[in-house]
Structures are given as C-alpha cells and as structure tokens.
Structure 1
Amino acid sequence: MTESLRSVTDRTPDLYQLQVFTVLAEELHFGRAAARLFTTQPAISRRVRALEDALGVAVFDRTSRTVSLTPAGEALLPEAREVLAAADRLRRAAARHVREVTGRLRFGGIGGEVATDYAQALLTALARAHPRLTVELRTLGFGEQFEALLRDDVDVAFLRAPVPPGIQTLPLSREPRVVCLPAGDPLAARGTVTLADLAHHTVVDVPPPAPRAWWDHWTANPRPDGTRVRYGPAADDIEAMLAAVARGHGITFLPSRARDFHPRPGVRYADVPELSPSTAVLAWNARHRDRPDIAAVRTVAAPLRIR
C-alpha cells in the first residue's frame, strides 16, 4: 500500500463515529448523547476526537458547559446522516437476502383446493416474498393426501380438516358442507335436506390409506340416531366421486363451493344444515415445522388465516 493510499484509508471515519456525531449534534449535551448510545461521556469524547482527526476538521465547539456545531459540523451533518441511512439500507437489503428462501417447494392439494381464492392468495404472496423459491403443484387423491405429507412426497398441502397425528395445520377458510345427489334422486329437486332424509342412501367411499375417521367425519357416520352409514364403491378423487354419483352408485358430501367448482351433468347439490362447517387448512409435516421453506410458507400464510 502506498503512503498516500494509507493516509486516505486511515482518515476515513467509521460508522459508529458518524453515529456519535449525529446523536451529539441532536442532543448538544454529552450526558444525554451517552445515555442514548448506552455508553459513557468519556467514550463519546474519544469518538468525537477520533472523528475530527479522521476528517481533519473540528465539528463541535465545546466548553465545560456547552456544546455546539462548528460551521464545518453544520455542513457535514447531512452527509453523515446520508452515510448512516445508506448503511442501514445496505443492512436491510442483506437481511432480506438472508431471509429469502430458495430451492423447490412441492405443494399438494385435494380436489380444487389449489384453485381456491385463499390458496391463490397464499401462492401469490409467497412468490412476492420469495421470488427465487420454485413452487410445484400436485393434485392429491383422497387416499394419499395425508401419507404424501408424512412420507415427504409433498412439503405442504391444501387439505380439509380433520387431519391425523403428525400433521400440523393453519386454517384458511370455513364453509358449509353440502350433499351431492344423482340428478334423478327424488331429493335432488329440494334445496335443503336432512340427515334423516339421507338415512337409506349409499355413500361413495374413499380408499385406504385415507383415515376412516376423516371420511366418517365427512359423511356424518354414525348419524345422530346412531345408525351407521352404508358405504358403496370407493373413489380416489373428485372426478371419480362425481362420476359415481352421476351414475347413481351413491351420494357424497363436499364443501359448498363444489357447486361452483364442480358442476356436472347428472349431479345436484343440496344443503344439509345439520352438518358442521368444513375447514380448509394449510398442512405440513410436524417434523418439518421449522425448516426454512416451511417456516417461510407459514409466515406468509399467517395473515390469511381465519380466526
């Protein structure tokens, strides 16, 4: 290093010296400045002297009782503040990159869940917050939906409660459940039916390994009077289930938005007020809760959750 370059480098003030300068310029009192900076008055004095040595000019006039800015100090104060602001912008930009998640995240979803307004809002917010995170979407069958998370075939999923142990959730939406009937069923002309009306109807089943407790919840099995549901053929996805209903092989129960998402020839929907609402959830394997990409999704989803 040449002597001229060394002298320039040695005379460059550091950020803390500039911070001391700006705080003392605001307070014009060593005691108050020291309190704001959680340090001592002698330390403030040393930093000011070091700054003035680095700049080659006095920035404060100080006596035993007063502190004031010199003309040079008045001129340099805006520049010092700009340097500190630029340094703060640099730190915040670096922090954003540290927090930014990269890689590939596999989203699963049953039925039309990925196309719902809440799922799309989450995916849009995630892309905005983590543009270098690649998202893959996969449709899950009823039988595999929970196993896909537990086996790490997908990382997060848009599902419907209830969920089995080992899976954590964040609720995103809640809506009534409806019954899906063959168009030729005598009940199909009615807008509202009761569980008693459906007592003798066969219900389309779902295949293993879908938990029996999950489908029993959806089908209200057993019914309020204690009778058990009679299950018919199994269907692993919405299309197969609706096709079974249209052919008269059974009825099924779906979220009320199925009316808009899944209108099909030969199928009619009716309200069942006795059924509790259905909750749509964002789900993940509990073992991976704090994995950076899962944590990023949870953070983005938090403002979208229902209370």
Structure 2
Amino acid sequence: MEDPTVHQLRLLLTLAEELHFKRAASKLYLSQPALSQQIRSLEQRLGVQFFTRTSRSVELTPTGQALLPLVRKVVNATEHLRNAASRSALGDTRLRLGVCENVAALEATRSVLGALSALYPCMGPEIHVLDFVEQMTALENGTIDAAFAYLPVPEGMHSQPLTTEPRVVCVASSDPLATRSSVTLADLAGYPVVSLASQMFQEGRDFWAADPRPDGTPVNYTSHHVTRFESLLSMASFGGAIAFVPSAAARLYPRPDIRYLPVRDLPDCTLGVVWPTVHRDKPQITALEDICRQLHRTGLPTGDAQNLTPLLELESAYC
C-alpha cells in the first residue's frame, strides 16, 4: 500500500462534495480525465473504492463515507502545519478574519474592522470571504485567526458577542403565509427547513432550524444542503420550504420572491467574533477581543476617534 498525496485527498474532498466529475473538475481547474486518473490512483494506493460511478451519477461507497472524516482531518492538519510554518518564518503579525457574505455589510462588522484598521494598522486586517462550512474549517486549520459568525459556535471556540437581533422566517412570496404580518412556530410545523450542509456542527444546524420545536417535535429538512446564504434564500424562494435567518437579512437581501416574517415565539440570535480557544492569548486575538468588548459595552461608532481613545494606549503592545 502506497501513501496518498495530500493533493489527491483534496481532490477527493471536492468530488465528494460535488458528486459530479465535470463540476468538480471545473472547480479544481482540472480536466475530467485528469481528475478521474487522480481518483483512480488514490483508490489504488489505499486499496479501497471511494466512489461508485455510472454514466449518470457518482456516489460515495459506504467505505468512502466512513473514511471521509479521516481524509478531511489529514487535509486540515496539513494546511494548519503549512500556515503555521509560513507565519512563523515570516513573523507575520496580520490578523486574518473570516467573513460570511451575510455579515459583511453589518454595522457591527464594519465597526470592528474600522477600529482594527485605525488602532492596529500593522494587523491589516486581512479579510477572507468564506461560506458557512469553509469558515469553521478555516478556523480549525489555522487559515484564519478569527471570524464574524452568528452564535452558537462549535466546541473549542471562544466567542465575544457584538449585537443581538430577532430571527425571522423566510418564505416564498407565493406561499399563503406571505400575507401574514407574523407567525408562530406552530404555524410553521408542516414546512421542511432548508438544510445547512452536513459538515456544519450539529448544535448550529439545530439552532438555525429551531430543531426540535418547543413541543419536542423534530424538524423535517430538505434533501438539498446549502453552504451559502444566497443559496439558502433561493431554496426558500422556490416554495415548500422555509429558512430562519437574522432579521438584518430583510434589509440587506430584499427580494421580490421572498417574504420575511417575524416569528413571535422564536428566540433572538447573537452576532459575535469567534476564535479558537487555544489562541486566546495571542497578541492579535487579545487586541481584537479588547475592541469587541469595548464596542459591545458602549455601542460606540468607530468613526468617532475620541470615543476610541481608551483603546489607543493598547496599540504599542501589538504594532
């Protein structure tokens, strides 16, 4: 048995996500024959078959499904090693922040970024726009240092809250509920919820599906999984399924095919900045936490330099 290359394992993960050779090859900037050859070589090296292939479909074998989490751990560990080595060699002081598309335009996000740029110019910050799954993976493997994310967060992550807002339900504008001014969770009992990707941690998936409901009823999900916010909205817009989203989405993502309705008995959600607990003592993270805590406590806009004066004395410690 010959060891696989990390490159082959990355190709495997992409194909496992797409389950389509043409789409996976396009995403990887490879030809289909080249991708097929690499997957065959990987299977031969490990002595297992990861996929069953027909002229119309590609599916993971039971063995492939069982080994996929281990493959992901190997790839993540390799990326973490490479990133750590690179930063150590370069003495990099930049703060690498992950941002999902649905939080990029929020006032809280912009306030933190503005304060970081004004107070700690040596830190950048360097922004990475990622989807739900990519962001948590990047935190775990060290590609980014911290991220803006709605809580809850996985075990091993620390969070500093910024703002709290209601959650609303997103329904197709053609749905009978669209004429209502508000709903309850009981009104939504017959609707499946648009499913977040299975790679998302379970507590997060449950929270954003309100699963289980207050009466203990489990939630039904769509068979199609999404990793991006726009995809979540589009799935709800087709009708027959719903999605729970932060209330800010109604302002940031107005669409004629969607109605956003308040849910009277649905708890609020909280936006925060998240980082691995093991990195809490890093100077960049300490500076970020100081800013987030100050802005959360006072709600001060970063455009007012005088309001940020208490933080200015921290700058010399990091830049």
* TM, length-normalised to structure 1: 0.64
Look up the SS of the partner of 1:197 in the other structure.
Answer: helix
Match of 2:255 in 1: 264
1:192-218 deviations in whole A, cap 9, x for unaligned? 001111001011001132012211112
Establish whether residue 156 from structure 1 lines up as the match of residue 146 from structure 2: yes
Establish whether residue 304 from structure 1 lines up as the match of residue 295 from structure 2: yes
CA contact (8 A) 1:171 1:306 kept: no
Establish whether residue 244 from structure 1 lines up as the match of residue 240 from structure 2: no
Q: Which moved more, 1:271-280 or 1:297-306?
A: 297-306
1:141-164 deviations in whole A, cap 9, x for unaligned? 222332221211211110011111
1:121-154 deviations in whole A, cap 9, x for unaligned? 1111111111222222222222233222121121
CA contact (8 A) 1:194 1:272 kept: yes
CA contact (8 A) 1:147 1:209 kept: no
CA contact (8 A) 2:170 2:243 kept: yes
Look up the SS of the partner of 1:215 in the other structure.
Answer: helix
Match of 1:208 in 2: 198
Look up the SS of the partner of 2:265 in the other structure.
Answer: coil
Establish whether residue 286 from structure 1 lines up as the match of residue 277 from structure 2: yes
Which of the residues 209, 212, 215 maps onto 1:219?
A: 209
Look up the SS of the partner of 1:114 in the other structure.
Answer: coil
- Structure 2, unpaired ranges of 5+: 1-90, 299-319
CA contact (8 A) 2:151 2:270 kept: yes
Look up the SS of the partner of 1:220 in the other structure.
Answer: coil
CA contact (8 A) 1:289 1:295 kept: yes
Establish whether residue 198 from structure 1 lines up as the match of residue 215 from structure 2: no
Identify if the C-alpha distance between structure 1 residues 246 and 306 changes in structure 2 by more than 3 Å, giving closer, same or farther.
farther
Establish whether residue 174 from structure 1 lines up as the match of residue 164 from structure 2: yes
Deviation, 1:249, is: 5.0
- Structure 1, unpaired ranges of 5+: 1-100
CA contact (8 A) 1:144 1:210 kept: no
Greater Rg over alpha carbons, structure: 1
Look up the SS of the partner of 1:264 in the other structure.
Answer: coil
Look up the SS of the partner of 1:178 in the other structure.
Answer: strand
> For residues 298 and 225 of structure 1, what CA distance do their matches in structure 2 show?
38
1:8-60 deviations in whole A, cap 9, x for unaligned? xxxxxxxxxxxxxxxxxxxxxxxxxxxxxxxxxxxxxxxxxxxxxxxxxxxxx
> For residues 152 and 271 of structure 2, what CA distance do their matches in structure 1 show?
9
Match of 2:105 in 1: 115
Look up the SS of the partner of 2:95 in the other structure.
Answer: strand
Match of 2:57 in 1: none
Deviation, 1:102, is: 6.9
> For residues 182 and 192 of structure 1, what CA distance do their matches in structure 2 show?
14
> For residues 249 and 106 of structure 1, what CA distance do their matches in structure 2 show?
39
1:95-123 deviations in whole A, cap 9, x for unaligned? xxxxxx97322111223212211111111
> For residues 134 and 111 of structure 1, what CA distance do their matches in structure 2 show?
20
Q: Percent identity?
A: 39
> For residues 300 and 306 of structure 1, what CA distance do their matches in structure 2 show?
10
CA contact (8 A) 1:173 1:306 kept: no
Match of 1:134 in 2: 124
> For residues 104 and 249 of structure 1, what CA distance do their matches in structure 2 show?
45
CA contact (8 A) 1:172 1:280 kept: yes
Q: Which amino acid aligns with 1:166?
A: G
CA contact (8 A) 1:166 1:286 kept: yes
Counterpart mapping for 1:19-38 below 5 A:
none
CA contact (8 A) 1:192 1:270 kept: yes
